[in-house]
Structure 1
Amino acid sequence: MSALEPVLKHLDQNLDKSVDHLFDLLRIKSISTDPAFKADCRQAAEWLVEDLKSIGFDASVRDTPGHPMVVAHHEGATADAPHVLFYGHYDVQPVDPLNLWENDPFDPAAKEIEPGRKILTGRGTSDDKGQLMTFVEAVRAYKAVHGQLPVKVTILFEGEEESGSPSLKPFLDSHKEELKADVALVCDTSMWNRDTPAICVALRGLVGEQITIKAADRDLHSGFFGGAAANPLHVLSKILADLHDETGRVTVEDFYEGVEETPSQILKSWEGLGRTPENFLGPIGLSVPSGEQGRSVLEQTWARPTAEVNGMIGGYTGEGFKTVIAAEASAKVSFRLVHKQDPDKIRANFRKFVEARLPADCRVEFHPHGGSPAIQLSYDSPLVTQAKQALSDEWPNPAVLIAMGGSIPIVGDFDKFLGMDSLLVGFGLEDDRIHSPNEKYELSSFHKGQRSWARILAALAAK
């Protein structure tokens, strides 16, 4: 019997105990965005420290200007064992609107929703307490069975992920030597479906910008001034309309600099996932893809850059009607980046794009909001290959390599500050309702997630 088999058996035999353990953590109201829950966030950090100490980690709470970090270290079975840094976050989203929850969000429960299918309910089950505890339970099982871990493990849990991670970059920068490892493991992503695990190999970057067009020194009577005075809403609308051409491509200068074509074999593998415009857009009441023409919905959302208008503000928007020409109009615009696009250059060229379209008597103000590059990992790196095989050994279907349309800035920070690649493996599902009322996590995700990490650790140790 391999060293892995008794670990997997231990996880199976102690599943109920691990669920109870998770519930203890879920009951802590670690809402990072609300100062009223500051003490709860510290309580969650302290709970994790004590739990990791019980496994044999050298663990401690590390204070920051915001909520504390949890840092823990454990040696591997041998002096030359690989070293992994596991990252997760213990903070959760607010629960509003509370009246839409079927149960108290901080009173977790296990429910059978159909024969043979159970879910765990409560805030943080999927994002991210349930996910991070899959890894903790895997190392707990290794220690219980073998008295040691197959690899050297450093753990970093933060308490501000849901509020923008303001303390994270300074913390990484000031603790480089302590936190640097061979690879970072991140469990804050999803599976393809309930039976198909996934490794995320690409994340889009993000640039946000608010633009405000100003003209007259006050709102104007549209009857008295209409036709003669510049209207910021008209100006703004035209600028935003110019962002795309008739084929859906973004028209900002050099926007596609650094954008590479996705390898043909990867596109072919995505075709086999069965994602169509009908089953992707249909559930949200749409049917026709509106992005770049000639590309699949997965390529559009995973591997191509975008420019989206997220909000427009200006003039009178209350009940009834008020005939004014607004003195100013604003829009929030975000760009999702891929491959080697430069966030700073995208921002600078977008500003030039806006300024070039300003008519006389108008001026513009810019307010930046975030900027991070895309993450693109090798599709065939030894690390990805090992993890893919380990996951495929555990789940009913082989693991697939996916990308994500969203952004996880921590992955870029690990590369920038610690010089590490990341392996992104998560066990959430699209219907887990993260950030929404009635968040849940599949019991199969929690159970087989533990077993998956055990397999991945064994694979890393064997290399």
Structure 2
Amino acid sequence: MSVPASVLSTLDSGLDASLDRLFELMRIPSISTDPAYTADCRRAAEWLVKDLTSIGFTASVRDTTGHPMVVAHHAGPSADAPHYLFYGHYDVQPVDPLELWENDPFTPKIKTGTSGRKVISGRGAADDKGQLMTFVEACRAWKAATGALPCALTILFEGEEESGSPSLKPFLAANAAELKADFALVCDTGMLDHETPAICTGLRGLVGEEIVVHAANRDLHSGLYGGAAANPIHILSRVLADLHDADGRVTIPGFYDGVDETPRDVLASWDKLGRTADTFLAEIGLAIPAGEKGRSVLELTWARPTVEVNGISGGYAGKGFKTVIAAQASAKVSFRLVHRQNPEALRAAFRDFVRARIPADCSVSFQEHGGSPAIQLPYDSPLLAKGKAALAAEWPKAPVMVAMGGSIPIVGDFQSMLGMDSLLVGFGLPDDRAHSPNEKYELSSFQKGQRSWARILGALAA
């Protein structure tokens, strides 16, 4: 099913009204991490329920041990219509430092951005109120123009995404039967640039480990014990150095189990995006590529697994100098996973790798810091093809399939807990300053994002 022209014209003629609604939502300071804004988080949830109810959804505020969820349902045109779950979040980041904002973060405005294009300025503009309202407005236009939605929809809006989603997994587990759908739609992603939409096909998973190497039973005078006593900083340094070989490959046995090669046609499409190691690294003051040799920077950051040392501590690090051999040394290590890598199998292999390098008179302890598998949408997914076609009809440039180096845990939860894959389409831009002062969302992202979701809904109903 293609989108009726009346739906798109309804969106265009209603742009000002849709901005008014977005601004109402953005004026609510729904900062989830600060208890002072608990009432405001509930107020944002109640606002969304009222708005969704006004366009025919059966919507409600659902209490959790933290901030409430918003759940809404709308029937499709027939009993056998496909059913999709749309996810977004209504909570926002704190605004500190306030003095760096050009205007009140909760007084949204239309401004001219540094690009010369019109932007929506204010906290939550891009992350995620502007994004989730593009979908709501698409539903509103379908109802206004045709009297129905093209498919059955469930909507889940969370209020704790910016504070770690502590209530989300228990809520999914308790309401799995109600929330289960054919597929999930997630809007918390972005575009390649302001003319090129993107569909995210992969999210790297994550494993975090903290290791502590223990040696002597106390800090030692290096003049008295140096050369005879084991130095845990030396031991830890050797362990960390052994994680990679000279070609940048990770040396942990079994590390690459479940890692597939990215299809050549996908790699070729990434090469056409023009992001070379030189340009990518120049932005951060570097010039020499690290990581696995013979792979592009986009393949390295989107589709290859990594091990990174995020912090090291041990011995004396204060001012001046202290000739001491530390009793212990520690490091924090994170792994980015791809494809079918198993987080727990990798954690176990890493711990075996470390233990094998610890002298017999020393010991090592570990602290787990979370783990989640990678998400990979099949490149030949029919849903992906429908999404691409819908976006291609709306934007000046053809959509690109991208991956993300970071993680969106909800996507993994949908897969593991509800058995649903996700289509990730968003309209944010890299310079939208999400989480930073002067957050913005391009007006074209908001307007064409609405039209894009209207087209996608029509395509998904086919």
Per the shorter chain, which TM-score range? Answer: over 0.9
Using the alignment, how far apart are the partners of 1:424 and 1:326 within structure 2?
48
- Equivalent residues in 2 for 1:298-447 (5 A)? 298-447=298-447
Partner of residue 196, structure 2 = 196
Deviates more, 1:196-205 or 1:157-166: 157-166
Q: Displacement of 1:114 after TM fit?
A: 5.8
* 1:115-158 deviation line (CA, Å, top 9, x unaligned): 86111112211111111111011111112222221111100011
**Residue type matched to 1:371 in 2?**
G
Deviates more, 1:57-66 or 1:91-100: 91-100
Residues paired across the two proteins, number: 461
* 1:249-285 deviation line (CA, Å, top 9, x unaligned): 0011100011111111111111111111122111111
What secondary structure does 1:401 align onto? strand
Change in 2 beyond 3 A, CA 1:190/1:122: same
**Residue type matched to 1:27 in 2?**
R
**Residue type matched to 1:234 in 2?**
H
Deviates more, 1:446-455 or 1:3-12: 3-12
Partner of residue 238, structure 2 = 238
Partner of residue 137, structure 2 = 137
Structure 1 vs Structure 2 CA RMSD: 1.5
Contact preservation (8 Å) 2:135, 2:453: yes
**Residue type matched to 2:163 in 1?**
S
Change in 2 beyond 3 A, CA 1:290/1:188: same
Contact preservation (8 Å) 1:62, 1:68: yes
Contact preservation (8 Å) 2:212, 2:330: yes
Change in 2 beyond 3 A, CA 1:217/1:32: farther
Using the alignment, how far apart are the partners of 1:311 and 1:96 within structure 2?
25
Using the alignment, how far apart are the partners of 1:55 and 1:449 within structure 2?
19
Contact preservation (8 Å) 1:242, 1:251: yes
Using the alignment, how far apart are the partners of 2:378 and 2:322 within structure 1?
56
What secondary structure does 2:456 align onto? helix
Q: Displacement of 1:3 after TM fit?
A: 5.6
Contact preservation (8 Å) 1:27, 1:106: yes
* 1:392-447 deviation line (CA, Å, top 9, x unaligned): 00000011111111111211111111111110101111111122222211111111
Contact preservation (8 Å) 1:206, 1:334: yes
What are structure 2's unaligned runs of at least 5 residues?
none
Contact preservation (8 Å) 1:217, 1:327: yes
Using the alignment, how far apart are the partners of 2:30 and 2:325 within structure 1?
46
Change in 2 beyond 3 A, CA 1:305/1:441: same
Partner of residue 453, structure 2 = 453
**Residue type matched to 1:266 in 2?**
V
Contact preservation (8 Å) 2:82, 2:182: yes
Using the alignment, how far apart are the partners of 2:116 and 2:307 within structure 1?
43
**Residue type matched to 1:260 in 2?**
D
Give % identity. 71
Using structure 2 for the length normalisation, give the TM-score: 0.96
Contact preservation (8 Å) 1:87, 1:156: yes
* 1:88-138 deviation line (CA, Å, top 9, x unaligned): 111122222333322222222210126861111122111111111110111
What secondary structure does 1:274 align onto? coil
Using structure 1 for the length normalisation, give the TM-score: 0.96
* 1:227-253 deviation line (CA, Å, top 9, x unaligned): 333222222121111110100000111
Partner of residue 273, structure 1 = 273
Contact preservation (8 Å) 2:3, 2:459: no
* 1:366-402 deviation line (CA, Å, top 9, x unaligned): 1111111111111121111111000000000011111
Contact preservation (8 Å) 1:4, 1:454: no
